Amino acid sequence: MTAPSLAIAWLTPAMGIAVASVLVPLLVALYFLKLRRRPAAVPSTLLWKRSVEDVRANTPFQRLRPSVLLFLQLALLAFVAFALAQPRMDLGLSAGGRTVFLVDVSASMGATDLSKGDDPKSRLDVARDGIRARIESIHSGGLFAGAPGECMVIAFAGSAKVIQPFTRSKGDLLRAVDRLEQTDGASVLAEGLALARAFATVVDPESQGATPAESAVIELWSDGRIADLGEESIRPGETLVYRMTGRADAANLGIEGIAAERSITDPGLMQVFVTLRNDGPSEAETDVELWIDGSRRAVTPQAVRVPAADAGDAPVPAPAGSDAPPAGHRPGIARALFPPFVQPRAGVIEVRLTRSDALAVDDRAVLAVAAPRRLRVAMVGPMDFAVSNVLRALPVERLESLTAAEFAALNADADRFDVVVATAGALPEALGPGRYLTFGAPRGIAELNPYGTKEGLAVRAQRAAHPLLRAVNLDDLYVSKATAMAPGSDVESVVDGPDVPLVAVARRGTVTAVVVAFDPLDSNWPFQRSFVTFLANAVEWLGSLDQPAAQAEHRPGDAITARIPGAVREVRVAGPSIDERITVRDGAVTFGPVQRAGVYRLTWSDEGAERRLEFAVNAAEGEGWIAAAERVQVGTAVVDSSGSGGSLSDLWPYALAAALVLLVLEWWAYHRRHWVRAAPGAGPVRPVGAAVPGARGAPIIRP
């Protein structure tokens, strides 16, 4: 079933049927019975009988009249029976059905566009209320209801989580709804849908209390801005109900990105760049504030104007479902930068918009920056002159040249060097924690799967956006001989040859390695400018990986791994959604996945000195577009919004009101029968024996 049609659910159908089957025949039987009348004796029934006949004869539609009464009474009874069956306008959910509440808890659900009055209510709060009402309605059959249906609750953002497996317990369900937590992650449906299917599929009909044919109704409580809708599909027999949560015209202005850069000439100077994004239909203006370590440092000299979003030519909002914002919707983008300022220390940079809007989480963005630092680089093994010359030219603090044996001896002290540049053969099999730039495939990283050599290779594709390849053009690169690798899933290929990767990034726990699959001397690379740029990029990128300022920006849903130097056993992590102590294992800690945006702070004491490390997490990309979709396109099926749960209304009060109106009508019709007067001019019917018309009436002698 693709688009569920409106249907009526009966909470207590048996009651309605029972009442109808008893009362309707009773009513019809009453029509066959005679009215209970008071007895009275009269001198003669002659005139009475004649009068009754006369009234009948003079009444139009006399034959229809009893049937009108009967009709009214039957209709009245029908309404009463209808009301007793407790009908609701619903979406095919029966009392005995199974329902999966699939709740979007992504950042956009934190928008407060649905709040009324002063009480700020986020979309998730509204969804909670709606789900509670749905649970109440499923469990509120009252006296005549059978067993309520089973429900489960799944929350999804970047990942999905079962909050409550299938249960009939109303209390468990309501508590599960209370446990739904807002995150600042992206909306990805796939995992939630897979979870819902896994639970909804009936494997064991006896223990699961449902027949295999009876699949659950999936209620999607979301604003419809879900990144992967287009990749999903509704399977045959599945029912997806979309409960639109949010306003379709919600506008939002937020921070798309933040970057900080130290000056090359004076590392103490820092410059901050901000990208603003407007998803509203009209141009917006805002001041942007710069906060450093919790105190306001600067404001943009004039308000930043962010152009309106381009909704495209599509008359309706384009259905969400593609990876990027759909072609129909292009947010307005504006950039702002703050003048360079002195920041010689590490710190947390925060940018805030002064203009408040429905979604608060993207009105601020944080960035943790490290103190300026020169790198310590080791060259291991016999190094090409081309490489060693370039390394010597780099502005590093220290460059040491080590043999393989020397490095193996030092390997335990991984923190001595920030970057290790080595030929593959010079590295030990057991690779210690650290960051490596290798030429050839090192034995210590099994995921590379080297299987021989290839000759005569040119570059087929390169990931131009990767920091390694910034300002690097490899169009003219020719490699005469390279190690052939079939890398596993943990390895990211950055430069592709015809069928093998030429440059790859391998990560394994605390080890990060940039692997160049060939010796530069086996190529024409050393003669190209891109060689120098690449080496500089690689050293800089690898060297700054554990430094917050340059770390890949963290997003909600990420698990954050940090290296802790020294022999620290335990660190404390504190942030918007977490505050706990975690044990250091193998010189590193991992925490998360973090769910909220903000600054996460690791603190520990190292030989009496308080040390700390800060990580910035910003709201997921794409969540700034908060205008709720009125329909979602799942695969090829379009599911219209079924409204919020609040509109699920009982029909029985209306049925009862109609019954009351019918009762009044029936009463009126009943008495109307006897108000009939003879038509004007048509005198009373002359009795037998009074054959002469025009006779003078007999005056009655009265007191």
Partner 1 sequence: MSLYFQGQPRRQRPERIDDLLGNELMARIARLDVVSRKVFAGKLQGERRSKRRGQSVEFADFRPYVHGDDLRFIDWNIFGRLDRLFLKIFLEEEDLSLMVAIDSSASMDWGDPSKLAFAQRLAMALGYVGLVNHNRVTMASFGGGSGLRKLSNLRGRRRTSEMGRWLLDLEAGGGSTFEESMKVLAMGRQGRGVMVVISDFLLKEGYEKGLRYAAGRGYDLWCIQTLAPQELDPMAHGLAGDWRLTDLEDRDEAEVTASPGLVEQYRANLGAWCAGLRDFAVRRSIMHLVVDTSMDVEVLMLEYLRRRGLLR
The residues of the shown chain that bind partner 1, judged by CB under 8 A, are 34-52, 54-55, 58, 671, 673-678, 683-692, 695-703
Residue partners of 277: CB distance under 8 A and separation at least 6? 253, 254, 255, 256, 306, 331, 332, 333, 362, 624
CB of 38 to partner 1, least distance (A): 5
Contact call for residues 637 and 319 (beta carbons, < 8 A): no
DSSP state of 319: P
- C-beta of 116 vs 702, nearer to partner 1: 702
With CA atoms as reference, report the closest residue to 481 among 506, 527, 516, 429: 516
Give residue 157's identity as a one-letter amino acid code.
A
**Could you give the CA distance from residue 163 to residue 262 in angstroms, rounded to a whole number?**
45
**Could you give the CA distance from residue 632 to residue 104 in angstroms, rounded to a whole number?**
14
Residue with tokens 């008359």: 315
CB of 699 to partner 1, least distance (A): 7
Residue partners of 680: CB distance under 8 A and separation at least 6? none
- C-beta of 43 vs 117, nearer to partner 1: 43
**Could you give the CA distance from residue 625 to residue 149 in angstroms, rounded to a whole number?**
35
**Could you give the CA distance from residue 338 to residue 354 in angstroms, rounded to a whole number?**
15
**Could you give the CA distance from residue 280 to residue 275 in angstroms, rounded to a whole number?**
16
**Could you give the CA distance from residue 127 to residue 101 in angstroms, rounded to a whole number?**
10
**At residue 310, what are phi and psi to the nearest 5 degrees?**
-100, 110
CB of 34 to partner 1, least distance (A): 7
By DSSP bridging, strand 637-640 and strand 304-306 are unpaired
- C-beta of 50 vs 168, nearer to partner 1: 50
CB of 661 to partner 1, least distance (A): 24
CB of 59 to partner 1, least distance (A): 9
CB of 74 to partner 1, least distance (A): 22
With CA atoms as reference, report the closest residue to 85 among 169, 167, 4, 12: 12
CB of 673 to partner 1, least distance (A): 8
Contact call for residues 434 and 416 (beta carbons, < 8 A): no
**At residue 187, what are phi and psi to the nearest 5 degrees?**
-100, 115
CB of 694 to partner 1, least distance (A): 9
Give residue 67's identity as a one-letter amino acid code.
S
Helix (H) or strand (E) holding 320: none
- C-beta of 333 vs 669, nearer to partner 1: 669
CB of 666 to partner 1, least distance (A): 16
CB of 698 to partner 1, least distance (A): 4
How many of the other CB atoms lie within 10 Å of CB of 514?
23
